[in-house]
Amino acid sequence: MTGLIVAVLMGMVSYGIAAWFMNINKKDWCEVILSDKIISEVKDYINNVIRPPREEFGGMPACPFAGPELDSGRLMIDVVIPGKVSLPELIDKFLSSGKQSALFAQLSDEELTAEDTKKYQRFINRVLRQAGAKDYKCICFNPNDKDTEIDGFNPRASAPYFLINIASRNELSKAHKTLMKSKYFDRLNDAYLKFLKVKPKKSWHLR
C-alpha cells in the first residue's frame, strides 16, 4: 500500500499536481468541501422536490425544465460565498460557459425575508444589465417565500438555500407560453398567481 501511495505522489509530481495539492490550505479545502455539499443538496432538491410530477401543478413538475437541463449538462450550479466567491464573478463565469441557465445557491450571514426576494431579484437583474447581459433574467427562490403554497405544498419553502436562477429572457418567455397552454396554473390560488405575475383566467377555475 505504501508503494502505491508513493507511486501516486510521484505521478502527481510529474504532472505538477502535487504543488497545487500541497498549497491548498485548510480553509480552501473546507470551502471546496462546502461547495460540493451545497451543489449536491441543490441537485437533490431538483430531483426530489421540483422534478417529480405534482397534482398541484396539473400533473406537471413544480419546475418542468430544471430536470432536463440538469440531465443534459445545460444547467450550471454553483455557490455564492460571501468574501470568497461573488455573484458578479459567477455571472461572468456563466455567461462564458455556454450553459443554457444557471442556479446559484446564495450563502449569507443574514436571512432574507419574503419581502426581500423581489428587491434582491431586481438588484440582480440590474447587475445583469450592467454586465451587458440584458438578454438574461434572474428569478429568485427564497425558502421564506410565503405566497407559494398550494394544498400544503410549497416548493420554494423546500429549497435548501436562497437560490438564484438565471436564464435567457427568450427561453423564459417560451417556457411561460408552454405552461400557459397547459394545466400548470389551474389549481394555483390568486396569491400564488399574483406572486408569479400571472393573470388568472376564469376557465382555470372551471376545469
User: Which pLDDT tens digits describe the chain residue by residue (207 residues)?
Assistant: 444 433 333 433 343 333 333 343 445 546 667 889 999 999 999 999 999 999 999 999 999 999 999 999 999 999 999 888 899 999 999 999 999 999 999 988 778 888 888 888 999 999 899 888 999 999 999 999 888 888 899 999 999 999 999 999 999 999 999 999 999 999 998 888 888 888 866 544 444
pLDDT of residue 113: 84
Whether 156 is covered by a domain: the verdict is yes
Whether 107 is covered by a domain: the verdict is yes
The SS3 call for residue 14 is helix
Whether 108 is covered by a domain: the verdict is yes
pLDDT of residue 34: 81
Whether 5 is covered by a domain: the verdict is no
Whether 66 is covered by a domain: the verdict is yes
Expressed as residue numbers, the domain containing 172 is: 26-205
Whether 1 is covered by a domain: the verdict is no
Tell me if 5 sits within 8 A of 14, measured CB to CB: no
Question: Nearest Cα to 192, choosing from 157, 163, 161?
Answer: 157
| DSSP designation for 167 | E
Tell me if 150 sits within 8 A of 192, measured CB to CB: yes
Domain count of the fold of the chain: 1
- Give the separation between CA 79 and CA 207, rounded to whole angstroms: 41
Whether 72 is covered by a domain: the verdict is yes
Instruction: Collect all residues with Cβ–Cβ distance below 8 Å to 77 and sequence separation of at least 6.
Output: 39, 42, 43, 70, 102, 103, 104, 105
Whether 31 is covered by a domain: the verdict is yes
- Give the separation between CA 33 and CA 30, rounded to whole angstroms: 5
